[in-house]
């Protein structure tokens, strides 16, 4: 009976397609033949029908079939319901909230509840930041006569920590202890990580000590959280001590641990030690990834060691590691800072060719590099390029070009650019007016400066007064 029903219903579903459940369900109910060896003849048929819809990818029809079975007073086939829930939890097309609502419907049909399913749903909801719904799922565990497990608590604690609600995380930890469910290494690691991300390093240290006192052995995740917290505070020596302690306990740092330390070392400018860690990774058969190389690249650029940055870039290319937005921007910033405007512009072109969109800051760095070298023509060309793209230059970009024009005495062009800026509703700031005032006074145009002062209404800072006084001094 079952193979025949499977074949027939599969044929019907394939012919009728999606949204066919109402018609096929009615046909099944009205059919004269049934399998008389079962007390509930329709149970097997509906079980098969739900499975067919699930296997065909018509999950909405499978859900509707369950509802129709319940509506008509038939016994709900639990086995196919289990498969349906499994499918929904694995599907990328079904949201955790929708799956939760369907699971509640099935539970209300008498389907036996399972803590594992509750935990999976909570995990999916927390991953999407839907902590309120995850809390409802957690509360439902007890209401269904089940007891939350350590995984249930840990899942919810992790969810709260991810949205920086540490107080609720610690409250749940307290509830665990009261209900004789003891926090494990994961519980402590999640809370320690939350404290470190919140820069509450002393509390993180105390929790780490509490964890050790209770006989729990910290793992790599625990140490990495502590190391990350110290790195973010700039306490790289403490981070390195934790790293050595981690090694002393026989724990093997993973790629995340190394990238965290390398980033911390680059922030404080210790590129030599950062490079040593990269070599150490290689000895331990840990391959540096894009994050590792990009972090080092950024570090070299910020320290002005462009030759090392260029060599590192060559190494990335030889290993098939493509540069991303962060890497391109770091190189452009480095070249611009060192006055290598042509190299910065070449890198900008490579960035565009690779399919990455530079932001206003990136363009402005390149424009500034050319303007400082006196190549206003190239600066204006890049400004027009920005204007013609979806990326619209702001007051900082205009100030850079205006400064370049004023320093070369091109006050007429500066005035034209100011008018264009105003027409585009880019509001000048104090820096704009100070640049123009200084330009007019240095190049003998008091008429232009008087016009600016009347437009501005007042001189708002010491720099403006200094510019005006210097200008008058030159006229005397």
pLDDT number for residue 474: 47
Three-state secondary structure call for residue 18: coil
Q: 357 pLDDT band (50/70/90 cuts)?
A: very high
pLDDT above 50: residue 366: yes
The structure tokens listed for 448 are: 């232009």
d(CA 187, CA 366): 48
d(CA 467, CA 289): 51
Beta-carbon contacts of residue 297 (< 8 Å; ≥ 6 apart): 309, 312, 313, 316, 327, 330, 331
**Per-residue pLDDT tens over the stretch 402-440:** 999 999 999 899 989 999 999 999 999 888 988 988 888
**Per-residue pLDDT tens over the stretch 158-216:** 999 999 999 999 999 999 999 999 999 999 999 999 999 999 999 999 999 999 999 99
Residue 243 region, left (φ>0) first, then alpha (ψ -120 to 50), else beta?
alpha
The structure tokens listed for 341 are: 């405007």
pLDDT number for residue 88: 86
d(CA 98, CA 60): 11
Indicate the average pLDDT of the chain.
Answer: 87
pTM for the model stands at: 0.77
pLDDT above 90: residue 57: no
d(CA 175, CA 190): 16
Helices 115-127 and 150-162 meet at what angle, rounded to 10?
10
**Domain extents for the chain?**
1-111, 323-393, 394-476
pLDDT above 80: residue 40: no
pLDDT number for residue 147: 95
**Residue 304 phi/psi, 5° resolution?**
80, 10
pLDDT above 80: residue 281: yes
DSSP 409: T
**Per-residue pLDDT tens over the stretch 307-323:** 999 999 999 999 899 99
d(CA 297, CA 18): 53
Token look-up 């990328």 returns 92
């Amino acid at each position: 009976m079952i193979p025949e029903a499977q074949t027939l219903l599969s044929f019907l579903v394939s012919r009728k397609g999606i949204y066919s459940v109402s018609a096929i369900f009615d046909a099944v109910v009205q059919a004269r033949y049934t399998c008389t060896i079962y007390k509930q003849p329709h149970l097997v048929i509906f079980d098969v029908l739900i499975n067919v819809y699930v296997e065909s990818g018509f999950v909405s029809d499978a859900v509707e079939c369950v509802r129709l079975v319940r509506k008509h007073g038939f016994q709900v086939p639990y086995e196919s319901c289990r498969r349906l829930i499994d499918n929904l939890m694995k599907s990328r097309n079904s949201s955790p909230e929708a799956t939760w609502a369907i699971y509640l419907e099935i539970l209300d049909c008498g389907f036996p509840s399972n803590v594992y399913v509750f935990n999976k749903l909570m995990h999916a909801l927390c991953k999407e930041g839907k902590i309120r719904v995850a809390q409802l799922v957690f509360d439902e565990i007890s209401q269904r006569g089940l007891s939350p497990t350590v995984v249930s608590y840990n899942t919810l604690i992790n969810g709260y920590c991810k949205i920086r609600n540490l107080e609720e995380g610690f409250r749940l930890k307290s509830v665990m202890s009261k209900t004789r469910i003891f926090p494990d290494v994961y519980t402590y690691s999640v809370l320690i990580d939350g404290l470190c991300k919140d820069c509450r390093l002393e509390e993180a240290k105390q929790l780490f000590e509490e964890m050790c006192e209770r006989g729990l052995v910290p793992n790599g995740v625990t140490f990495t959280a502590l190391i990350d917290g110290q790195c973010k505070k700039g306490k790289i020596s403490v981070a390195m001590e934790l790293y050595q302690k981690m090694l002393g306990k026989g724990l093997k740092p993973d790629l995340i641990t190394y990238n965290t330390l390398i980033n911390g070392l680059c922030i404080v400018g210790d590129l030599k030690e950062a490079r040593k860690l990269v070599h150490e990774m290689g000895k331990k058969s840990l391959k540096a990834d894009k994050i590792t190389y990009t972090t080092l690249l950024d570090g070299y650029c910020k320290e002005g060691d462009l030759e090392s940055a260029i060599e590192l870039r060559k190494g990335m290319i030889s290993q098939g590691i493509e540069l991303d937005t962060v890497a391109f921007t770091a190189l452009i910033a480095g070249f611009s800072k060192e006055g290598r405007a042509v190299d910065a512009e070449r890198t900008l072109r490579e960035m565009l060719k690779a399919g990455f969109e530079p932001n206003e800051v990136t363009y402005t760095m390149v424009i500034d590099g050319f303007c400082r070298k006196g190549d206003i023509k190239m600066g204006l060309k890049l400004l027009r390029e920005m204007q013609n793209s979806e990326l619209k230059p702001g007051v900082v970009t205009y100030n850079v070009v205006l400064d370049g024009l004023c320093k070369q005495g091109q006050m007429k062009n500066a005035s034209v650019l100011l008018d264009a800026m105003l027409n585009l509703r880019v509001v000048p700031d104090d820096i704009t007016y100070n640049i123009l005032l200084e330009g007019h006074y240095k190049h003998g145009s008091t008429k232009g400066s008087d016009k600016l002062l009347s437009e501005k209404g007042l001189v708002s800072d010491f720099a403006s007064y200094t510019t005006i006084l210097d200008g008058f001094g030159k006229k005397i």
